[in-house]
Structure 1
Amino acid sequence: MTALGKTGPTVEAPKAQSATDEVELAITGMTCASCSTRLERVLGRVSGVETSSVNLATEKARVRISGGLGRADDLIAAVNKAGFGAEPVTADRPALQGHDARGDRAEMLLFTLAAVLTLPLIWDMVAHMTGLPGRISPLWQLVLATPVQFVAGARFYRGAWVTLKAGAGNMDSLVALGSSAAYGLSLWRVALGDPADGLYFEGAAVVITLVMLGKWLEARAKGSAASAIRALMRLRPDIAHREVEGVVEDVAVDRLSLGDVVLVRPGESLPVDGDVVEGRTEVDESLVTGESLPVTREPGDRVIGGSVNADGLIRVQVTALGKDATLSRIIRMVETAQASKAPVQLMVDKVAAVFVPAVVFLAVLAFLGWWLIGGEMETAIVAGISVLVVACPCALGLATPTAIMVGTGVAARLGILVKDAAALEQAHHCTTIAFDKTGTLTQGRPAVTGVVPAEGAPGEDGLLALAAAAQGGSGHPLAHALRFAAEERELTLPAFTDFQSIAGKGITARVEGRSLVIGSRRLLDEAGIALESLEDEAARIEGEGASVVWMGDAGTKTLLGLFAIADPVRASAKAAVASLKAMGVTPVMLTGDAERVARAVAAKVGIEDIRAEVLPDHKADAVATLRSEGKVVAMVGDGVNDAPALAAADVGIAMGTGTDVAMETAGITLMRGDPALLPWALGLSKATHAKIRQNLFWAFVYNTIALPLAALGLLNPMIAGAAMAMSSVSVVGSSLLLRRWRPTMDPLGASAGAE
């Protein structure tokens, strides 16, 4: 497990390769939602594939297949056969989301060529409509339009031919059909010597030029949407100052090994995850965890690679490198979320699968309708071309994934890691949030605040020494508290034997001939040990919000005493609960603690609905009960015992200071373990969902209005091409507005996040 000192996050540990594993591919050649939908079907037909998901916005495919990376060649072959390109994405060969500078320049040169040759054709159309001078002869129109059609437009023919061989269609097919029909009709009339009035060279050229411009703008906008990933990748420096036997040398971070010691000077970024072995400093972890204030780090504390050393010189021993480093895991989680599909996208994919054939059918109907009913061949051809050109499923295909990309990027900057798109889309629907107490509402670092021996039992130090010795085999936070208290008093601990942990109840062990039973009231009741003599003291302790750990001797059936253990409530918990209530969300506490302790903590943070003394394996049942009552439930927890409940909830939310198991199970992780991030997460979910709905609305409206207008002959091919190109750009631009979202709740304030 990789953790960060006292307050830092933990991120999921890498999973071992299994018989069925996930392969990620970088895809090239996709132009619209029809391409991604068809690729999913193609990949799904490869032997051994369980699931496949292709994301148009990120241009990646995620495939679960038996054999994992060993079967990547089979997947790539299937993709290539379908007319696209693919290569595996690994830690050594990441597919960075951004621009290929050389490809950008080539695209701009082609677009510039097309624009320069198209402008005279547009002027000829304007001159024809207004009577202005400067008309261009039909032959010169042919000379200008031909390079646009077959040089600049070659990409559309290649794409259309590839999909045609596969028996499918995409945006390239529509552009190639529409522009070729306009160019072909004009060429026929030039060959026959018809007057220039019946030429549509400008329509074909403008369609190709505008679509090229639209795709270039779209690519740049998608690259901007992926800026969160690139920002994270830039955090880690490439060079580290390695210290070997007192000599400092600059080496590439990739050459470091576990156990190396690196020197980090004031103002430098930490190159690796590690433990501070010398020095004291303040570290700015804001770009990694979202924590706005610098945190103190001293010997024994852990630090994250990518965070900034503020003012002290420290030496750090390397504990994690490469894909195991915290920053690499964060990047993987963000990439996974951006590449995953929200549930609403499934509906869009179904529409895209039939969209291109439906458009071709509508174009044929428009042509036949105008020709047979109106008797005008030219009008019929123009109507058919306009239908082909104006229809583009790109806007539909980009509406959801671009909003998810931007939303998850904003979340990462705030310290909220979203594991999958479904969690981000579902979070704002939550009506109930179930909190685990320890480590979630409280700081998760319990401390012994009192030792109460029973009559005839050893004194405080003797009782504490017995308890701390018996807890030697336990990793529970309460066991740590007892051992730490014994260390503070410098007590000598005897040996223990026959240790046994009883989930949710406590432990048993033999120490100095005693059969010790340490834990909950229930455990001592089952051992037949009477508790009456200390009931009043226990009630007082629990009324103050501390937990009571009972201790008895099962051999003699005698009560030895009890320990008061308190876990301070997090400073922002009360404000976070108040904000959730203001958002209409009901908080519930699920805890294994006694009723009185649970109520005392709940009163401090403002929770009225308490489910106390819930065993770990019953937390999932409690979540299921809440869901059966018609509530949409988010579960917030940090421990291994919370994992089943996190999985059972509609949305699982893990605290970043908790265990890897909890974060692997949860859909959302709060990196700095602060409850104040909960209203932010729900507010951002609401904003992202609203943006998805807005994008889909305008994408559907565009096609609903544009297609009938084109079929009715009310749009010429040039206007249709402009509208089609701008629809995709407008959807991506709309998603980018999400980057302006800001939470309005201060970590210690009480207002909910909003735009």
Structure 2
Amino acid sequence: MKRRYRVGNVTCQSCVALIEKILKSTEGVIEAGVNLATEELFVEYDEKKITEADFIQKLTALGYTTEEIKDLKTVTFSIKGLHCQSCVGTVEKVISGMKGVDSIVVNLASEKGTVTYDSTQVKLSEMFHLIEKFGYKGERITEEVIDKREEEKKAELKREFNEFLVAIIFGLIIFYISMGSMVGLPIPHIINYDENPKLFATIQLLLSIPVVYVGRDFYISGFKKLRSKAPNMDSLIAMGTGAAFVYSLYGTLKVYEGDFGFVHNLYYESGVVIIALISLGKYLENISKGKTSEAIKKLMSLQSKRANLFRNGKIVTVDIEEVEVGDILLIKPGESIPTDGVVVDGLSSVDEAMLTGESIPVKKIEGMKLYGATINGTGSLKMKVTEIGENTTLSRIIRLVENAQGSKAPIARMADIISSYFVPTVIGIAVIASLVWYIIGTLGLITLNATPSVFALTILISVLVIACPCSLGLATPTAIMVGTGRGAELGILIKSGEALEKTCKVDTVVFDKTGTITAGRPTVTDIVSHKFEDTVILKVVGSLEQNSEHPLADAIMREVNLRKVDLYSVKSFNSITGEGVTGTLEDTPVGDVEVLVGNKKLMDRYSINIEEHLKEGEKLFDQGKTVIYIAARDTYLGMIAIADKVRESSKDVITELKSIGIDVIMLTGDNERTAKAIAKEVGLTKVIAEVSPEQKYSQIKKLQISGKKVAMVGDGINDSPALTQADIGIAVGGGADIALESADIVLMSKNIKDVPKAIELSRETMKNIKQNLFWAFIYNGLGIPVAAGILYPFTGHLLNPMIAGAAMAMSSVSVVSNALRLKWFK
């Protein structure tokens, strides 16, 4: 066995030598090595001679800590044979019990499983082999498998419909033969149960055989699950209809023996009609389930298959698989952009609606980003490829949506727990109820409308057939699949079911200012200096800011480029978070000069007196501008004012959030005066200003401690700690990759107008899930007692097993249909 560990308290090479010596001298350890630089320990040992705990204990006694480094892989695979939530529970229980499996989530609606496991301890093939013993089949998802599964799904739907036709045709004939005379319908004398009871029973038996064959999967799967002690929906159907067929077969034999009274106790029609109705329900359910993943199919269909590539001075059309990073492609008017890249020549407008949900095309010029699957307008573009394959924006979106659709919301855990006990409990209720009614009938305590044995059998069949855990299992995953898929179509990427559920509970939205409430493209508006020309001040500041990644630095550098100002080289550059930057300009007319560029905190830190210039700065602050002060050699030089335009939609978004009961706060590192001026413009009264990234994180935490459910909206690297700390992190598209990774929800539209839309979508999805769960619970909560005969003493009526079968079949269809309503969310 081979293992890797992170080792703590390893301070020098002596520690390395000691650990290696101790382990190598331990019986059973084959090889051991420590890497001081990475603090990693590699151990190979014989499990028959020594356990992991034995050598870990030795290291602990020496004062070293160990933490196993797991080589975890996450794989999504398809699963055949899932019929209900009990199946889901069985697969999850079986795989999670395997050594090396970290987590497993199975989605009934998509018929997929996502497993995270240590590939050194267990293989995916071993998992597949194990679940095969329980009647399921696992298969890795590849493009070929997806295509194969699509074909199989079509063939399966066709087969299910044909089987339903067989079952319903034969079922109706049997139903007519057995029940026709009771309602006055003409029955041929040759098969009349009074005149020819043997032929009457024989014809029903023969007509039932094709239906039993059509429903063979119920029996094969159901009894296999029973033998595995993991009964599911198929087990209930197999037991219920099986009991009807076996009892009818017994009755047929008694008729052949001359006991013609049994001709009235044949249940062939119930068994075949139940199978027909359940087959119909299964067919309709599978059609509905196929529609839940349409969002993924739409996204996949957008991927280009071909590209126009510049090769040896010529344009050649190639398969997309031949395109490499760095290639130059030609995008003709009206064409789909094949992959991600940047414009190197040309001018056009590109329809990015598939990414952002925005219908207005985006103007593209040299240097601007292009995204695969977006549609070029009337111009022609040359683009340089920057990303291909799985690294493209579209592929990342597909992965995000697939992961979200495969995940479970916390609300689903309740259904999981109930489903794990559901089927065994139903079987117990069915058996006990039928026995109780048999005893009641035998003792004559209540007058029954049939013999005790027939009455008890009816109870048994009805309870087994009406109790379906399918609707319970489909309630949550179908709504999550449709909700997250609809979100992706609208440019709202929700990363998980948990994020979807948490979003509906949000009561406070905190906005970062720059890039969210404002456009995120600040520009220089004022250069104030009493000693030097504007270009001198700009040259000093630009020389320093060229080394910074702050949005304000971008504004300064744009002004530098606009005015074509030459810059000094810089040494000893230092960025002080939340205050500004410092550095030494080299080779100026007066030699090397130390320069400070930042806010008042930075000036105070270096004891630069700017008191007499504060009023001038305050006037600019009151106009909503950010002011940075400049000093050199301990002397104040001047100030630069920068303004960031407020987004047109910001005021409307904040008003809309307030209208749906959300408290809105602006959180910014900018000075308080500027922040309040922006807040006033957009209708905000709550502002927290002059906070560093660490303080943003602390402010979010403070709100949470006070009982608030907080969503943080940001787009920058400095927002990532706050995005992670918030109950829900919402990243505005086009922001830094780290912000997109930190967030729970990504708005691809680069605009905050989708924030209220994301909250409303979450609320609608959770409302839909609760509706589904309510009806699933009510259906079973009321259906099972009625099937068990609780109303019979009062009404004299018993639930017909055929009606129970129809109700069970339609319960799942109704749940999936309700979830599909989310496709029309706007």
Q: TM-score, normalised by structure 2?
A: 0.85
Once the two structures are superposed, residues 509-529 of structure 1 have per-residue CA deviations (whole angstroms, 9 ceiling, x without a partner) of 110311112122112211111
Query: Could you tell me whether the CA contact under 8 Å between 2:349 and 2:379 is conserved in 1?
Result: yes
Query: Could you tell me whether the CA contact under 8 Å between 2:83 and 2:234 is conserved in 1?
Result: yes
Measure the CA separation in 1 of the matches of 2:122 and 2:318: 33
- More displaced, 76-85 or 431-440? 76-85
Q: 1:141 aligns with which of 204, 212, 220?
A: 204
Residue in structure 1 matched with residue 618 of structure 2 by the alignment: 539
Matches within 5 A, 1:74-223: 74-89=126-141, 100-134=153-187, 137-149=200-212, 151-193=213-255, 194=260, 195-223=262-290
1:327 aligned partner, one-letter code: L
- Does residue 424 of structure 1 match 2:508? no
1:723 aligned partner, one-letter code: A
- Does residue 492 of structure 1 match 2:574? no
Measure the CA separation in 1 of the matches of 2:181 and 2:671: 87
Query: Could you tell me whether the CA contact under 8 Å between 1:169 and 1:357 is conserved in 2?
Result: yes
Measure the CA separation in 2 of the matches of 1:578 and 1:372: 68
Measure the CA separation in 2 of the matches of 1:283 and 1:125: 68
- Does residue 372 of structure 1 match 2:439? yes
Query: Could you tell me whether the CA contact under 8 Å between 2:99 and 2:121 is conserved in 1?
Result: no
Once the two structures are superposed, residues 605-638 of structure 1 have per-residue CA deviations (whole angstroms, 9 ceiling, x without a partner) of 1111111111101111111111111111111111
TM-aligned CA deviation for residue 164 of structure 1: 2.5
- Seen in structure 2, the aligned counterparts of structure 1 residues 129 and 644 have a Cα distance that, compared at 3 Å, is farther
Query: Could you tell me whether the CA contact under 8 Å between 2:484 and 2:494 is conserved in 1?
Result: yes
- Does residue 323 of structure 1 match 2:390? yes
Residue in structure 1 matched with residue 713 of structure 2 by the alignment: 636
Residue in structure 2 matched with residue 751 of structure 1 by the alignment: none
2:391 aligned partner, one-letter code: D
- Seen in structure 2, the aligned counterparts of structure 1 residues 430 and 533 have a Cα distance that, compared at 3 Å, is same
Query: Could you tell me whether the CA contact under 8 Å between 2:723 and 2:742 is conserved in 1?
Result: yes
- Does residue 37 of structure 1 match 2:89? yes
- Seen in structure 2, the aligned counterparts of structure 1 residues 128 and 646 have a Cα distance that, compared at 3 Å, is farther
Q: 1:646 aligns with which of 687, 712, 723?
A: 723
Query: Could you tell me whether the CA contact under 8 Å between 2:99 and 2:122 is conserved in 1?
Result: no
- More displaced, 267-276 or 728-737? 267-276
Name the SS for the 1:343 alignment partner.
coil
2:329 aligned partner, one-letter code: V
2:223 aligned partner, one-letter code: W
Query: Could you tell me whether the CA contact under 8 Å between 2:340 and 2:385 is conserved in 1?
Result: yes
1:724 aligned partner, one-letter code: M
Name the SS for the 1:593 alignment partner.
coil
Matches within 5 A, 1:397-546: 397-453=473-529, 455-456=530-531, 458-512=532-586, 513-546=592-625
Query: Could you tell me whether the CA contact under 8 Å between 1:509 and 1:517 is conserved in 2?
Result: yes
Query: Could you tell me whether the CA contact under 8 Å between 2:223 and 2:238 is conserved in 1?
Result: no
Name the SS for the 1:473 alignment partner.
coil
- Seen in structure 2, the aligned counterparts of structure 1 residues 443 and 94 have a Cα distance that, compared at 3 Å, is farther
Measure the CA separation in 2 of the matches of 1:95 and 1:58: 15
Name the SS for the 2:816 alignment partner.
helix
Query: Could you tell me whether the CA contact under 8 Å between 2:504 and 2:760 is conserved in 1?
Result: yes
2:504 aligned partner, one-letter code: H
Measure the CA separation in 2 of the matches of 1:618 and 1:82: 53
Residue in structure 2 matched with residue 24 of structure 1 by the alignment: 76
Residue in structure 1 matched with residue 800 of structure 2 by the alignment: 716
Equivalenced residue count is: 721
Unpaired segments ≥5 residues, structure 2: 1-68, 192-199, 443-451, 587-591, 793-797
TM-aligned CA deviation for residue 92 of structure 1: 7.8
Name the SS for the 1:204 alignment partner.
helix
- Seen in structure 2, the aligned counterparts of structure 1 residues 70 and 56 have a Cα distance that, compared at 3 Å, is same
Residue in structure 1 matched with residue 55 of structure 2 by the alignment: none
- Seen in structure 2, the aligned counterparts of structure 1 residues 97 and 336 have a Cα distance that, compared at 3 Å, is farther
Measure the CA separation in 2 of the matches of 1:738 and 1:172: 30
TM-aligned CA deviation for residue 241 of structure 1: 1.9
- Does residue 357 of structure 1 match 2:424? yes
TM-aligned CA deviation for residue 126 of structure 1: 3.7
Residue in structure 2 matched with residue 623 of structure 1 by the alignment: 700
Query: Could you tell me whether the CA contact under 8 Å between 1:261 and 1:317 is conserved in 2?
Result: yes
Once the two structures are superposed, residues 121-158 of structure 1 have per-residue CA deviations (whole angstroms, 9 ceiling, x without a partner) of 12224404303123652111101111211x21111122
Identity of aligned residues (%): 41
- More displaced, 349-358 or 498-507? 498-507
- More displaced, 221-230 or 641-650? 641-650
- Does residue 700 of structure 1 match 2:777? yes
2:667 aligned partner, one-letter code: L
Name the SS for the 1:22 alignment partner.
strand
1:477 aligned partner, one-letter code: P
TM-aligned CA deviation for residue 696 of structure 1: 1.0
Measure the CA separation in 2 of the matches of 1:329 and 1:162: 40
- Seen in structure 2, the aligned counterparts of structure 1 residues 557 and 92 have a Cα distance that, compared at 3 Å, is farther
Measure the CA separation in 1 of the matches of 2:285 and 2:248: 31
Measure the CA separation in 2 of the matches of 1:70 and 1:301: 46
- Does residue 302 of structure 1 match 2:369? yes
- Seen in structure 2, the aligned counterparts of structure 1 residues 272 and 166 have a Cα distance that, compared at 3 Å, is same
Query: Could you tell me whether the CA contact under 8 Å between 1:655 and 1:672 is conserved in 2?
Result: yes
2:298 aligned partner, one-letter code: A
* Greater relative contact order, per chain length (Cα 8 Å cut-off, separation 6+): 1
Name the SS for the 1:657 alignment partner.
coil
Query: Could you tell me whether the CA contact under 8 Å between 1:22 and 1:68 is conserved in 2?
Result: no
Matches within 5 A, 1:9-20: 19-20=71-72
Once the two structures are superposed, residues 305-324 of structure 1 have per-residue CA deviations (whole angstroms, 9 ceiling, x without a partner) of 11111211222222111110
Q: 1:348 aligns with which of 402, 415, 429?
A: 415
Once the two structures are superposed, residues 422-448 of structure 1 have per-residue CA deviations (whole angstroms, 9 ceiling, x without a partner) of 222221221110111111111111111
Query: Could you tell me whether the CA contact under 8 Å between 2:355 and 2:749 is conserved in 1?
Result: no
Measure the CA separation in 2 of the matches of 1:365 and 1:493: 89
- Seen in structure 2, the aligned counterparts of structure 1 residues 18 and 302 have a Cα distance that, compared at 3 Å, is farther
Measure the CA separation in 2 of the matches of 1:20 and 1:452: 57
Name the SS for the 2:411 alignment partner.
helix
- Seen in structure 2, the aligned counterparts of structure 1 residues 536 and 639 have a Cα distance that, compared at 3 Å, is same
- More displaced, 634-643 or 89-98? 89-98
Query: Could you tell me whether the CA contact under 8 Å between 2:349 and 2:364 is conserved in 1?
Result: yes
Matches within 5 A, 1:52-67: 52-67=104-119
Residue in structure 2 matched with residue 658 of structure 1 by the alignment: 735
Query: Could you tell me whether the CA contact under 8 Å between 1:592 and 1:614 is conserved in 2?
Result: yes
Measure the CA separation in 1 of the matches of 2:79 and 2:598: 56
TM-aligned CA deviation for residue 18 of structure 1: 7.5
Query: Could you tell me whether the CA contact under 8 Å between 2:181 and 2:187 is conserved in 1?
Result: no
Measure the CA separation in 1 of the matches of 2:227 and 2:77: 23
- Seen in structure 2, the aligned counterparts of structure 1 residues 345 and 98 have a Cα distance that, compared at 3 Å, is farther
- Seen in structure 2, the aligned counterparts of structure 1 residues 96 and 426 have a Cα distance that, compared at 3 Å, is farther
Measure the CA separation in 2 of the matches of 1:47 and 1:315: 52
Measure the CA separation in 2 of the matches of 1:78 and 1:551: 70
Measure the CA separation in 2 of the matches of 1:321 and 1:44: 35
**In terms of Rg, which structure is larger?**
2
Measure the CA separation in 2 of the matches of 1:598 and 1:90: 51
- More displaced, 113-122 or 689-698? 113-122
TM-aligned CA deviation for residue 94 of structure 1: 5.4
Matches within 5 A, 1:249-268: 249-268=316-335
Once the two structures are superposed, residues 402-424 of structure 1 have per-residue CA deviations (whole angstroms, 9 ceiling, x without a partner) of 11111111111111110011222
TM-aligned CA deviation for residue 97 of structure 1: 8.3
TM-aligned CA deviation for residue 91 of structure 1: 7.3
Matches within 5 A, 1:224-263: 224-263=291-330
Once the two structures are superposed, residues 533-562 of structure 1 have per-residue CA deviations (whole angstroms, 9 ceiling, x without a partner) of 321121011111111112212xx3211221
Q: 2:462 aligns with which of 382, 386, 394?
A: 386
TM-aligned CA deviation for residue 96 of structure 1: 9.1
TM-aligned CA deviation for residue 325 of structure 1: 0.7
Unpaired segments ≥5 residues, structure 1: 1-16, 743-755
- More displaced, 171-180 or 159-168? 159-168
